[in-house]
Amino acid sequence: MKLDSLYQEIILDHYRNPHHKGLREPFDAEVHHVNPTCGDEVTLRVKVADSAGEHDQPVIEDVSYDSMGCSISQASVSVMTDLVVGRSLDEATRAYDEFLALMQSKGQLEPDEDVLEDAVAFAGVSQYPARIKCALLGWMAWKDATVRALAADDGSAPDGPTADQPSAHRPTADDIEETA
């Protein structure tokens, strides 16, 4: 696979020194995504703040992750966190949309460096269909986790446990004391 050497350097740098890596608390949602064709895996957490500073919309407060796999997948998740952490939901989604378009471009799209920053280094990957899933793994995990975090924030999570469901008798502190 031939990539521009500068781009290759950026990818290797993120691979060797990943940004924002490690699972952190607190978080609103956690997802686990795998790319079976290559064996890449990522567990990713997102913390969303209602709004902050000049933003009057949700802000991606933190993205933390644990991951394993090829250099493309590992570098891509690191680059992605730089583009979403501390950004408003709109900004982060714009970067996601740009990256998705770049990956689907078959090498025909000139990447917008103002939006994508280091992620422009993955432009060449779009010519290698087998590697596109590697590059997208972390981004898909972020999108999935963010959608879940926002849903949880609304209180509209459809299948959470409800307080008044009929349930079997659960031992209480009193029961435990009686039998002790």
CB closer to Zn ion out of 40 and 118: 40
Encoded tokens for 169: 């008798």
Minimum CB distance to Zn ion, residue 39 (Å) = 7
Distance CA 116, CA 60 (A): 17
CB closer to Zn ion out of 38 and 152: 38
> Is residue 106 within 8 Å of residue 85, measured between CB atoms?
no
Distance CA 163, CA 142 (A): 30
Residue span binding Zn ion (CB under 5 A) among the ranges 62-70, 86-94, 107-115, 143-151: 62-70
Is residue 135 involved in binding Zn ion (CB under 5 A)?
Answer: no
Minimum CB distance to Zn ion, residue 113 (Å) = 24
Residue span binding Zn ion (CB under 5 A) among the ranges 2-10, 71-79, 82-90, 163-171: 71-79
Helix-, strand-, coil-residue percentages of the chain, each rounded to 5? 50, 15, 35
Burial of 120 (0-12, 13-18, 19+ CB in 10 A): buried
Among 70, 100, 101, 151, binds Zn ion (CB under 5 A): 70
Is residue 140 involved in binding Zn ion (CB under 5 A)?
Answer: no
Is residue 73 involved in binding Zn ion (CB under 5 A)?
Answer: yes
Region of 106 on the Ramachandran plot (φ > 0 left; ψ -120 to 50 alpha; else beta): left
Name the site residues for Zn ion (rule: CB under 5 A): 38, 40, 69-70, 73, 134
